[in-house]
Structure 1
């Protein structure tokens, strides 16, 4: 069965161009030109990935993501002309899986889409194995099988990427991870030195699991080297 893509883009020319290319590549593609209609399309069908522009009419891309993340872990790839750290931080912090700046090549977009879908598929298969793997570290209880984290008995809401990063450190307690290694492992893609993606995810993760994010105890920073699980 062909993978299904929802393109949420208000520029009709760009939307049609991307749809035409991806359809030729064997994808089943649907489009929406504003956030409101996109939510309607999403509620009526199932998709493997969402390609999302940030600057949308009616409901903007950020608010659209907030609604989607309340109900689904579907991969979201942001595509936006506003290639600023602010937009990246906001988008990725809300649970986007990747970011591509306009103008982009169709070959790069296709590679990003395939990599993102592949990661989500691998995670889904791992989760279905049901290894009932629960790990206690400090005040955190991490349930690998059920993709959940509790702190002091209360659930901590993590995005897919945040959970994968935390799991990476917990399962490798004595290992130091560079940003390149984290990116290669979690995103399963080559690292080109864009620290922003790692920085945003690490900051958001720490805000959720640390008592004091500015003085983290679970994930320690080794300046100039990378990160390591703290001795809690």
Structure 2
């Protein structure tokens, strides 16, 4: 089955270029030119991924991203924007974007990033401490966190959490072996499926996001410990 990609871009030329590029490479696409239109399409059919411009009429790209993360946590989001400041990229990653490309972008790079985002959607269940099997499928448990691996759902304090795919994969990795300290390199190469070059702040950003979401579900509880100079483990 072809992967279904939503293009949310108000520039007609870029939108059409993306449609043609993606369809040439075997994807099914739908085009939207405004934030509200993009969300309407998502209500009708959830895409595997969204290529999201920030400067959209109706609802801004940031507003669309927030709503996607609240309602469609399994959908991948690649932000495509002319804004190339580091702070802008970090801010969008904190808000839940899976990746970020700066316009004008190389089409081969965009395709490679899209493929990586889609690969990360296919979460392979892992053996490890705290796994149980039952009618609900494969479950990872630590304290009051439950990961329903077959459904890609995370619960904490009895509440379901809306995690991005990378946040989900990081938490699943840490919970697969709660006593182990995972280095940033371990986490980055497992989740991003790319070589860790030692300077990327993405792991810290995503760990911070996970902690904030867990804290909202269960204030006062500590789940992830920073092992200074080494990495992270379940607390």
What TM-score does the superposition give when structure 1 sets the normalisation length? 0.81
8 A contact 2:52–2:78 mirrored in 1? yes
Indicate which of 186, 208, 211 corresponds to 1:206.
Answer: 211
Runs of 5+ unmatched residues, structure 2: 127-133
Whole-Å separation in 2 of the counterparts to 1:45 and 1:153: 28
Q: 2:163 — aligned with what? A: 158
Which whole-Å deviations, capped at 9, do the CAs of 1:177-225 have from their partners, x for residues lacking one?
22232122112233345523222211110112248xxx98422222332
Whole-Å separation in 1 of the counterparts to 2:157 and 2:47: 35
Q: Name the count of aligned residue pairs.
A: 225
> Given the alignment of the two structures, is residue 77 of structure 1 paired with residue 78 of structure 2, yes or no?
yes
Pairing 1:81-120 to 2, within 5 Å after superposition: 81-120=82-121
Q: 2:175 — aligned with what? A: 170
Whole-Å separation in 2 of the counterparts to 1:218 and 1:56: 38
Whole-Å separation in 2 of the counterparts to 1:156 and 1:40: 23
> Given the alignment of the two structures, is residue 12 of structure 1 paired with residue 15 of structure 2, yes or no?
no
Mark the CA change 1:111 to 1:205 in structure 2 (over 3 Å): closer, same or farther. same
Whole-Å separation in 2 of the counterparts to 1:118 and 1:207: 26
8 A contact 1:88–1:197 mirrored in 2? no
8 A contact 2:52–2:77 mirrored in 1? yes
Pairing 1:186-197 to 2, within 5 Å after superposition: 186-193=191-198, 195-197=200-202
3-state SS of paired residue (1:19): helix
Mean alpha-carbon deviation: is it higher for 145-154 or for 101-110?
145-154
Runs of 5+ unmatched residues, structure 1: none
CA RMSD in angstroms comes to: 2.9
How far residue 139 of structure 1 moved from its aligned partner, in angstroms, is: 4.0
8 A contact 2:174–2:233 mirrored in 1? yes
8 A contact 2:46–2:75 mirrored in 1? no
How far residue 131 of structure 1 moved from its aligned partner, in angstroms, is: 6.8
Indicate which of 223, 229, 232 corresponds to 2:234.
Answer: 229
Mark the CA change 1:56 to 1:229 in structure 2 (over 3 Å): closer, same or farther. same
Mean alpha-carbon deviation: is it higher for 140-149 or for 100-109?
140-149
Q: 2:31 — aligned with what? A: 31
Whole-Å separation in 2 of the counterparts to 1:14 and 1:194: 32
3-state SS of paired residue (1:158): coil
3-state SS of paired residue (2:201): helix
